Amino acid sequence: MNFCSQCGARVSLRIPPGDTLPRHVCDACGEIHYQNPKVVVGAIPEWEDRILLCRRAIEPRHGKWTLPAGFMENHETTAVGAARETAEEACARLGKSELFALIDITHISQVHVFYRAPLLDLDFAPGTESLETRLFSEDEIPWDEIAFRSVALCLRYYFADRKSGRMGIHVGAITTPPGHE
Amino acid sequence: MNFCSQCGARVSLRIPPGDTLPRHVCDACGEIHYQNPKVVVGAIPEWEDRILLCRRAIEPRHGKWTLPAGFMENHETTAVGAARETAEEACARLGKSELFALIDITHISQVHVFYRAPLLDLDFAPGTESLETRLFSEDEIPWDEIAFRSVALCLRYYFADRKSGRMGIHVGAITTPPGHE
């Protein structure tokens, strides 16, 4: 951030009075521009013993597999956002969803919130951001081709719960950049 | 948002190619400035059958009671943020926390995440943003003086769970401005 989005003047990085962290503060109008973590919302679309994954048509991780997920939009709930991403990326409709995992990713300041929800039908298809959409049973999951660590972690929680016979709600954290774990 | 925080030029509100929602787009450098919901993290600090509330020394809701809570900072987990807010607002230390509630507040685009956690000791005191900090049993809760609806909702979940003998994880939503519910 170089300029004030309110007035267009230069900003400086400094600790405002009464604060403890450096913020981008406008040198002209005094506006404090806070930067905060972003929420990514995603779904685990279920059909009997299989779940729906999407193969990414966009960077990052073009060609890798993921759960439908993306940045939460203003004025939606996390559950509605997860259903919206599923509609956009897999042209699929979900039934009633249940919170499944909250995963903090500190090095990129994101909170990933996953809901599990039944697919209402099998009329799914790749959206513009997907190359392919496919149902996978646990033994078919392409673990080495999963796009994001949060998705892999969420899938591990999911299949462990399925094995145990009891679906829980999981809190996890990823605190190191890829390759540094 | 009037100006590009990257280059300082004017921004326009328009739908970028391939997108579905209007965004602030820079007329000069083309940067797309996404605006997304913010995460508020809070704690239910527990001591035997009582919980700790703070009376606010700041606006909004000066003088009203709240759970310690505030905007999540970059590079922290939701649980660490809840503990940080508790330290800042009530000078209190928490033990191991458990996710308790996720409350979407759509009209202000916030996601409130509450953890419950035991107080490690009774050495709490008002931080700079609090007038007073006090332990409350259920029948002492000042329901008409609670600062925020998400906090009141979280407290209702909490005491209902205490009554039932089983602490759960709750997903809620507040979708109308105050006075419009």
Please state, in angstroms and rounded to a whole number, the distance separating the CA atoms of residues A51 and A19. 46
> Which structure tokens are listed for B154?
């979280």
Whether the per-residue pLDDT at B180 is higher than 80: the answer is no
Beta strands per DSSP E along chain B: 11-14, 23-26, 32-33, 38-47, 50-56, 65-66, 69-71, 98-105, 110-118, 130-136, 170-174
Average pLDDT (A66-77) is 98
Q: Which residue has the higher pLDDT, B178 or A171?
A: A171
Residue B61 CB-half CA count within 13 A: 17
- B7 touching A (Cβ < 8 Å): yes
* Amino acid B68: pLDDT: 98
Are A44 and A51 spatial neighbours (Cβ–Cβ below 8 Å)?
yes
Model confidence at B18, in pLDDT bands (50, 70, 90)? Answer: confident
How close A179 comes to chain B (CA, Å)? 18
Are A41 and A81 spatial neighbours (Cβ–Cβ below 8 Å)?
yes
Eight-state DSSP code of residue B151: H
Question: Within chain A, what is the greatest distance between any pair of CA atoms?
Answer: 60
pTM, entire model = 0.96
* Single-letter amino acid code for the residue at B136: F
Interface A:B, Cβ pairs < 8 A: 113
Could you read off the pLDDT of A6-28 as tens digits, one per residue?
999 999 999 999 899 999 999 99
Eight-state DSSP code of residue A146: B
Model confidence at B55, in pLDDT bands (50, 70, 90)? Answer: very high
Q: 3-class SS at A154?
A: helix
- A128 touching B (Cβ < 8 Å): yes
How close B139 comes to chain A (CA, Å)? 30
How close A149 comes to chain B (CA, Å)? 16
The partner residues of A47 in beta bridges, in order of sequence, read: A50
Number of residues that this document lists for chain B: 181
Whether the per-residue pLDDT at B181 is higher than 80: the answer is no
Tell me the percentage of chain B whose pLDDT exceeds 70. Answer: 99
How do beta strands B130-136 and B50-56 pair?
antiparallel
CB contact under 8 A, A7 and B2: yes
- The residues spanned by each domain of chain A are 1-34, 38-174
Could you read off the pLDDT of B140-160 as tens digits, one per residue?
999 999 999 999 999 999 999
* Amino acid A178: pLDDT: 84
* Amino acid B73: pLDDT: 98
Please state, in angstroms and rounded to a whole number, the distance separating the CA atoms of residues A30 and A32. 6
For A24-68, the DSSP string reads EEETTT--EE----EEEEEEEEEETTEEEEEEESSSSSTT-EE-S
Could you read off the pLDDT of A94-142 as tens digits, one per residue?
999 999 999 999 999 999 999 999 999 999 999 999 999 999 999 999 9
Please state, in angstroms and rounded to a whole number, the distance separating the CA atoms of residues B35 and B49. 41
Tell me the percentage of chain B whose pLDDT exceeds 90. Answer: 96
Q: Position of tokens 């929800």?
A: A117
* Amino acid B28: pLDDT: 96
Q: Give the CATH number of domain B38-174.
A: 3.90.79.10
Average pLDDT (A157-165) is 98
Average pLDDT (B67-84) is 98
Q: What is the mean pLDDT of chain B?
A: 97
Could you read off the pLDDT of B93-103 as tens digits, one per residue?
999 999 999 99
- Closest residue in B to A77 (Cα) is B104
CB contact under 8 A, B107 and A75: yes
- A73 touching B (Cβ < 8 Å): yes
Residue B92 CB-half CA count within 13 A: 35
Helix or strand (DSSP H, E) at A111:
strand A110-118
- Tell me the fold of B1-34: Ubiquitin Ligase Nedd4; Chain: W; (2.20.70)
Q: How far is CA A41 from the centre of its chain?
A: 4
Q: How far is CA A87 from the centre of its chain?
A: 15
Are A103 and A172 spatial neighbours (Cβ–Cβ below 8 Å)?
yes
> Which structure tokens are listed for A89?
């990326």
Q: What is the mean pLDDT of chain A?
A: 97
**H helices within chain A, ranges in order?**
78-90, 149-164
Residue B117 CB-half CA count within 13 A: 26
User: Rg (Cα) of chain A, in Å, rounded?
Assistant: 19
* Amino acid B32: pLDDT: 97
Question: Within chain B, what is the greatest distance between any pair of CA atoms?
Answer: 60
